[in-house]
Amino acid sequence: MTYKITTRQQATLDELKAFHFDECPSINWVRKTKEPFPRDSVGPNERTWSQKESEFDSNLFSRIAGINSIINSYYRLNINKAIKRDTLLYQKWEENYPFAKNMMEGHQESWREAIKKYASFHENCDVAQAYSLHVFDSRTVECDVFLHKLEKMIPSKIEKTTKKGKIRYHEMPKTKRYDLYQYYVYSCLNKIINDLFAVLPCERVFINGVSGSYENHQPILSIVVVRKEHKQNRCPKRTLVKHRHIVTFKKRSGFYPLYTVYSPQILLKEKG
């Protein structure tokens, strides 16, 4: 009898390998530390309306009684509104400047707050159980990601349909489950790395994928990603294995625990 995997089942399996396609808006913290315009100078909104007023040719309406007065009032009204908008723009910058400055200086609590507020990976509970973020310096961040176990994320049975439209369930081969879990892990870590680079002004990310129970967990994948060398590929595995990484994966048994991981304390000390 011929079977075909159901569309519902295929969609579920595809989602497990596609977390990294969910893009997070990028934040330019350097720009946020710069004044929107010099204090006590003409702001951008006021400048725009002042320029419109100066370019207006009043001679076109000089013969119509009272029209110039109405037009002048119109420009004055909009210029005053523009001044208020510029004032609010500068006040908002002043309020946000201390946080932006802390971000550029690598303050740990500010970086953690930015991740909670602007990153999106933690909004999807399937990406990870939890994460731990540590700021090593203003250019380097460490992140431990506690991944869901294979048994929770990868179904043990495949939902298929017969030619007559009946639903049947078949055992999923172990190698297939391990392969799906491998791509799930790479996709999750890829998503988190993308978010970290989008939200934080860091230049490198040390990230460890951790699997297991709350009481007994071990790292299974350790990667060092440098921003300028991070080129996103459709395949999350091909994207990440181009970077310095430690992993042991076998088709018939899956990921193996790591007994050492990359650490900025060690690698950056060696470079120095």
pLDDT confidence band for 216 (50 / 70 / 90): confident
Are 145 and 188 a contacting pair, CB within 8 Å? yes
**Stronger pLDDT, 164 or 272, i.e. the higher one:** 164
Altogether, the residues listed in the chain come to a count of 272
Mean pLDDT of the chain: 90
Q: Check if the beta carbon of residue 239 is closer than 8 Å to that of residue 232.
A: yes
Of 50, 27, 38, whose CA–CA distance to 115 is shortest? 27
Q: What is the pLDDT of residue 222?
A: 97
**CA distances to 5, 59, 86, 97, 263 from 79, in Å:** 65, 21, 10, 27, 56
pLDDT at 9: 87
Does 28 score more than 80 pLDDT?
A: yes
**Contact partners, residue 90, CB within 8 Å, separation at least 6:** 35, 36, 37, 39, 43
Average pLDDT for 151-163: 88
Q: Is residue 64 very low, low, confident or very high in pLDDT (cuts 50, 70, 90)? A: low
Q: Quick one: pLDDT band at residue 61, thresholds 50, 70, 90?
A: low
Q: Is the pLDDT of residue 159 over 70?
A: yes
Reference 220, options 238, 233, 232, 207; nearest CA is 207
Q: What is the mean pLDDT of residues 44-50?
A: 91
Give Cα 128 to chain centroid, integer Å.
14
pLDDT of residue 1: 52
Residue 139 has pLDDT above 90, yes or no: yes
What is the structure's pLDDT at 271?
64
The residue type found at 130 is: A
Confidence tier at 192 by pLDDT (50, 70, 90)? very high
Residue type, 209: G
Average the pLDDT over 164-186 and give the result: 91
CA distances to 75, 135, 189, 219 from 207, in Å: 56, 12, 8, 10
Query: Could you say which DSSP state residue 39 is in?
Result: T
* pLDDT over threshold 70, residue 250: yes
Name which of 254, 198, 260, 250 is nearest 225 in CA terms.
198
Mean pLDDT over residues 153-172, rounded?
85
